[in-house]
Amino acid sequence: MRLRPFLTALSLAAVAGFAVLSGPAAAQDRRVPTQTELALSYSPVVKRVAPAVVNVYAAKVVQQRNPLLEDPIFRRFFGIPGGPGGGLGGEQVQRSLGSGVIVDPSGLIVTNVHVIEGADEVKVSLADKREFEAAIVLKDKRTDLAVLRIKDGAEKFPFLDFANSDALEVGDVVLAIGNPFGVGQTVTHGIVSALARTQVGITDYQFFIQTDAAINPGNSGGALADLTGKLVGINTAIFSRSGGSQGIGFAIPANMVRVVVASAKSGGHAVQRPWLGAKLQALTPELADSLGVKRPAGALVANVLPDGPAARAGLKAGDLIVSVDGQAVDDPNAFDYRFATKPLGGAAKLGVVRGGREIAASVALATAPDIPREEIVIRSRSPFFGAKIANLSPALADELQVKGADEGVVVLDVDNGSYASNLGFQRGDVIAEVNGEAMRKTADLDRLSKQANRSWRIVIIRRGQKISAVFSG
């Protein structure tokens, strides 16, 4: 069984769109429908929602590579200049199709990052067949959410209001709207099958709405709406053996979407979230027994960083966080979601079990400290050729979910086909030492990479583990 995003590679052929809620709606009446009511239609809801759902077309130019061009001996023999991947090779345009939802009358659209990742051009098609170019306002890879803005939009567009996704209950009826397989606007219905799914592995913030509404490739970024016509989630992924819908789909809750949109509206290019200043781990049955906890649920504090919000709130290693502002926390993923959706400023009240009794801790909702990142791409002949690096800070460590380090030099990205890529460097790797010298700033690694060394002794930290390697050449 594989987890698949809804995005699929399709030609720019199909056009679809979706919808707006015009005016307040009554609260959803939760009850078993009568036989007469079963003959009723969802059409009124669809008519309100459909105009605010759009098709998102993304195109990017990729360089076709010949593997021989990566061989320096081949390049030297034929006199091909430049680094790996340069000099020869044709270009090809890759196109993809997904969905999006207008969430502001000015033309602000939410979709998935994987729909528009790497795109050189983005267009959106509305339900009325009009097509607009769109600018990427913000990309938040941690949630797989992106915010677009319609260019040259001199009108008010139909849009969807956000629902309170925390008010959802298992069994609630929902509608999924998108453009599966590029066939055009499609509406399916189902129920909320489960809430707070945290073991899905799609994004950093794993806290998904599960639904059995039929969703397929092309639905990425589309709307999951309730029967009041409000947006309860953004459809993101499915469990599937065949690539098609098998009744298990996942949506990002509207309360998380709201946070990302608010950052885009404020003019930010990155989402600002509260920082705890502590490392958390799951509570196993064995740890629960040792702590005297009856149920193995909660987020266990593994360590607390000095002078961070957690330290100032009095949290200690071994504390078990079981709630945030009265909302239960079953594991670290649930805590991350609850804490990340809190507005900055003020404080959050944590329920904490310590020594067998529950206490309260008030944690300030503040961002992690940052420093100038001084991002550079290594272009010197070395094992780091093609690696984009930055100075690590608590803010960047939190963004990249780096474990085991809060300062030093971290890999942000690696060029495909570069030496760094071929040697296995990954985003989030902390380069701790090179040839016995500690790497504290990007300037340190840039200087060392320019040295003509035949042997490189490198220590990196990956997912909290130190890895040592020696490269020759």
Catalytic residues: 114, 144, 220
Tell me how far apart the alpha carbons of residues 7 and 16 are, in angstroms, rounded to a whole number: 15
332-340 vs 254-265: helix axis angle to the nearest 10? 40
In the structure encoding, which two tokens stand for residue 26, read together?
Answer: 């009554």
Closest CA to 311 of 358, 275, 345, 285: 275
Residue 390, beta-bridge partner list: 410
Q: Provide the b/e sequence for 423-448 (b: ≥16 CB within 10 Å).
A: bebeebbbbbbbeeeebebbebbbeb
Q: How many helices (H) and strands (E) does the chain have?
A: 10, 26
Residue 265 exposed, middle or buried by CB count within 10 Å (0-12, 13-18, 19+): middle
The amino acid that residue 197 corresponds to is R
Tell me how far apart the alpha carbons of residues 277 and 364 are, in angstroms, rounded to a whole number: 11
**What is the DSSP secondary structure assignment for residue 202, as one 8-state letter?**
S
CA angle, 298 as apex, 167 and 323 as ends, to 5°? 45
Tell me how far apart the alpha carbons of residues 132 and 146 are, in angstroms, rounded to a whole number: 17
Tell me how far apart the alpha carbons of residues 26 and 145 are, in angstroms, rounded to a whole number: 29
In the structure encoding, which two tokens stand for residue 357, read together?
Answer: 């009794």
According to DSSP, the β-strands at 223-225 and 173-178 are antiparallel
Rg of the chain on CA atoms, in Å:
25
Tell me how far apart the alpha carbons of residues 98 and 368 are, in angstroms, rounded to a whole number: 33
Closest CA to 342 of 276, 395, 274: 274
Residue 155, beta-bridge partner list: none
